[in-house]
Amino acid sequence: MESVPYLDRPPSPLEFYREWVSPNKPCIIRNAIGHWPALHKWTLAYLREVVGRKVVSVAVTPNGYADAVFHNRFVMPEERQMPFMDFLDIVEKKVTSPNVFYVQKQCSNLTEEFPELICDVQPDIPWMSEALGKKPDAVNFWLGESAAVTSLHKDHYENLYCVISGEKRFLLHPPSDRPFIPYELYQAATYKVSEDGSFEIVDEKTADKVPWIPLDPLNPNLEQYPEYAQAKPLQCTVKAGEMLYLPSLWFHHVQQSHGCIAGPGPFPGLIDLYGSGGGLVEYRASLLASRGFVTLALAYMAFEDLPAMPEVLELDYFQEAIDFLQKQQQS
């Protein structure tokens, strides 16, 4: 299985755009966030002192899988409002709970729910903002137990994952693996805690069915999904002080460490920049459409909806057209 390449220093904006953004390739960047105070300040005691009394949004599940297929449903977590110090008690095992708790709310929860921590990080990476032509649409703060798992999915925007403590393990698939990755439609549902403390799955009856991936890439059922054997996954581990650039439309499955590297407690703290907003997919599609490639633009936007094919479908023909148009703009 292939691995993700490393950069030993932050790239220049031009280098980053030319070598990674434009060809839609992931990379791990070292020595880019060593100046962040969070790397040495974010102890459990510090987090308790600064934000411990705040009531924040916490995802709670019985099995660690939020936003995942379970019992033939697409099940979302219970979103619980609780003091952050109570969440830390559970993570530190000071309080025993059979459930799995994870701070994972998106839509820029760092700025919305944890503004006291912004001074410890850099919510804008200058060389990436210049390369993308925009500042982050969202800055997300993720923190949780080792049992919390992110099921295989993809995003339509650029992501930059910055690990503060612990480590994150990613299994990635390029967009060209889409024909081999199964999608099915599922009834949307949510975990709800019953009176006896157990979870029940409640259907969201007015919601549309959700297209999601039923396959576990760590233990794929190749009898049920034989096409997946043709996929070409990559694996990488992002450690404290490193950042992963994950381009739009890349599939990713994420786990986190049991221990913590150069930091406190059994969890990794993670900052995700540039997520939850418009990414380069829209820019690339609009560029194609503006020059008459309307069908190609629509296909690019709906790439995940293309039918499965027996042969590998590459994105090269999209990228060649985009590169051609960009050169025309520059000339």
**DSSP string for residues in 34-64:** TT-THHHH--HHHHHHHHTTSEEEEEEESSS
User: How far apart are the C-alpha atoms of 98 and 79, rounded to whole Å?
Assistant: 16
CA nearest 160: which of 189, 192, 134, 198? 134
Is 259 in the same domain as 291? no
Q: What is the mean pLDDT of the chain?
A: 83
Give 178's contacts (C-beta < 8 A, 6+ positions apart): 251, 303, 304, 306, 308, 313
Q: Which of 109-123, 222-236, 253-267 has the lowest mean pLDDT?
A: 253-267
Is 150 in the same domain as 264? yes
Is 150 in the same domain as 18? yes
Is 170 in the same domain as 31? yes
Is 177 in the same domain as 307? no
E-strand ranges in 67-154 read: 68-70, 73-76, 78-83, 100-103, 139-144, 149-154
pLDDT in tens, 156-165: 888 999 999 8
Is 265 in the same domain as 293? no
Is 296 in the same domain as 160? no
pLDDT of 43 reads 84
Taking 90 as the threshold, does the pLDDT of residue 7 lie above it? yes
Q: Is 168 helix (H, G, I), strand (E, B) or coil?
A: strand
Tokens 């949510």 correspond to 190
User: How far apart are the C-alpha atoms of 160 and 153, rounded to whole Å?
Assistant: 16
Confidence of residue 291 (pLDDT cuts 50, 70, 90): low
Do residues 183 and 251 lie in contact, with contact meaning Cβ atoms separated by under 8 Å? no
Structural Rg of the chain based on CA atoms: 20
| Terminal CA-CA length for the chain | 40
pLDDT in tens, 265-288: 333 456 676 553 445 555 566 555
pLDDT of 47 reads 93
Tokens 């997946």 correspond to 228
User: How far apart are the C-alpha atoms of 38 and 241, rounded to whole Å?
Assistant: 10
CA nearest 139: which of 170, 168, 106, 164? 106
Q: Which CATH number fits the domain that encloses residue 236?
A: 2.60.120.10
Domain count, the chain: 2
Backbone angles phi, psi at 53, to 5 degrees: -85, -5
Is 317 in the same domain as 180? no
**Eight-state DSSP code of residue 120:** G
Q: Which residue has the higher pLDDT, 307 or 254?
A: 254
CA nearest 153: which of 65, 92, 237? 65
Is 26 in the same domain as 89? yes
Is 287 in the same domain as 274? no
Which one of 259, 278, 297 terminates a domain?
Answer: 278
CA nearest 87: which of 141, 111, 115, 51? 51
What range does the domain containing 33 cover? 2-278
Distances in whole angstroms, Cα of residue 14 to Cα of each of 6, 17, 285: 17, 5, 21
Tokens 């024909």 correspond to 179
Taking 50 as the threshold, does the pLDDT of residue 304 lie above it? no
pLDDT of 27 reads 97
Q: Which residue has the higher pLDDT, 329 or 135?
A: 135
Give 306's contacts (C-beta < 8 A, 6+ positions apart): 178, 179, 299, 313
Q: Are strands 251-256 and 149-154 parallel, antiparallel or unpaired?
A: antiparallel
User: How far apart are the C-alpha atoms of 129 and 107, rounded to whole Å?
Assistant: 18
**Eight-state DSSP code of residue 21:** I
Which one of 278, 300, 318 terminates a domain?
Answer: 278
User: How far apart are the C-alpha atoms of 37 and 159, rounded to whole Å?
Assistant: 22
User: How far apart are the C-alpha atoms of 113 and 240, rounded to whole Å?
Assistant: 23
Is 86 in the same domain as 228? yes
Is 266 in the same domain as 296? no
